[in-house]
Amino acid sequence: MWHAKYIAVDWGTTNRRAWLIDSSGSVESEFKDHLGLMSVPKGGFDSAAADIRKQLGDYPMLLAGMVGSDRGWRQAGYVPCPADAALLAASILWVEPMRTGIIPGVCQTEGHADVMRGEEVQVLGAQAIASLSPNAIICHPGTHCKWIHLQNGRISRFQTAMTGEIFDLLKTHSILAAQMSDDVMYNASFQQGLKDARDGAPLLNALFAVRARYLLQAAPPADASYASGLLIGNDVMAGLMQAASGSHVTLIGRPDLCHLYARAIAASGCTSSFVDGGAAFRAGIDSIIRQLGE
């Protein structure tokens, strides 16, 4: 049945996005709304899922993202590394057999403990779209930035940095908030933050300098950009710590954020390219469906 039309759903904490894919693999229709997990009332997932079919038609449906977490519709668990499309397809949680399925996340238990949920589908898709090397490095910036290493075409290890969340906490709740009202840009302040990170300035100290510069009247007017450069600089250094110099990184995610990461990656002597998150998600679902057979 998966050779005919189907629905692909990326259902996260604050948003959901769904596409109806036709038998040629093209998008026939789509929608995006704010009915993320936080907006679904308790016990409301059955009808929230039924609503997707009301909008796109009564077709088979595969879902991924936080919808499969402990706060989502059903717990789809995690598959361990090394993970690929075949393992994810074999581990789908079927809400209705072969008709409505939730793709599991991926976990890492060797080395440091880590988890992802949703990004694994985009990684599979980027492999297909961008003809990635079987040993590619993929970076997915965001609230929790993921650095994912492929080995022989499978997700072999990954690490998550709380970069976006720490930035948001500082901007919203910290003593630095008043100095972080600017929109983050790749400007001189961002570059100074990157430089301080690369020069090894301790993160906890470099952040306080934002406050001190303000009090001493020497504050540049763009300290959200500075803090972002500092945090992204630290994130990229950790992400590339074990990578060969001159490595290539495939970025997936928000274009504005990927642009900032691209500059930080370039400052580390590596190269990067960009894959659109929605296209990667659809291609990843397609990869998994190809594993389902008849």
Which among 256, 252, 247 is positioned nearest to 274, based on CA atoms?
A: 252
Which element (helix H / strand E) includes 80? strand 78-80
| Cα–Cα dist 220/73, whole Å | 46
Preceding peptide of 82 cis, ω within 30°: yes
Q: Which is nearer to a copy of itself, 130 or 251 (CB)?
A: 251
How many residues sit close enough to a copy of itself to count as binding (CB under 8 A)? 44
Task: Out of 100, 127, 163, 287, point to the residue binding a copy of itself (CB under 8 A).
Answer: 163
Structure tokens at 262: 């691209």
Give the pairing of strands 61-64 and 27-33.
Answer: unpaired
Map residues 56-75 to x or -, x wherever contact with a copy of itself holds by CB under 8 A: --------------x-----
Q: How far apart are CA 45 and CA 51, in angstroms?
A: 10
User: From CA 136, how far away is CA 224, in angstroms rounded?
Assistant: 31
- Asked if 169 touches a copy of itself (CB under 8 A), the answer is yes
| Site membership for a copy of itself, residue 243 (CB under 8 A) | no
Closer to a copy of itself by CB, 60 or 118: give it.
118
Q: What are the CA-CA distances from residue 235 to residues 125, 157, 163, 203 (Å)?
A: 24, 16, 7, 11
Instruction: Give 234 or 272: the residue with its C-beta nearer to a copy of itself.
Output: 234
Q: Which stretch binds a copy of itself (CB under 8 A): 29-37, 187-195, 196-204, 245-253?
A: 196-204
Helices (H) and strands (E) in the chain, counts: 9, 14
Q: Does 112 bind a copy of itself (CB under 8 A)?
A: yes
Least Cβ distance, residue 292 to a copy of itself (angstroms): 27
Options 5, 53, 144, 254; binder of a copy of itself; rule CB under 8 A:
144
Residues 211-240 close enough to bind a copy of itself by CB under 8 A: 211-213, 215-216, 218, 231, 234-235, 237-238
Give me the least distance between CB of 269 and a copy of itself, in Å please: 18
Cβ closer to a copy of itself: 241 or 244? 241
Question: Are the beta carbons of 284 and 125 closer than 8 angstroms?
Answer: yes
Q: Judged by CB under 8 A, does residue 206 bind a copy of itself?
A: yes
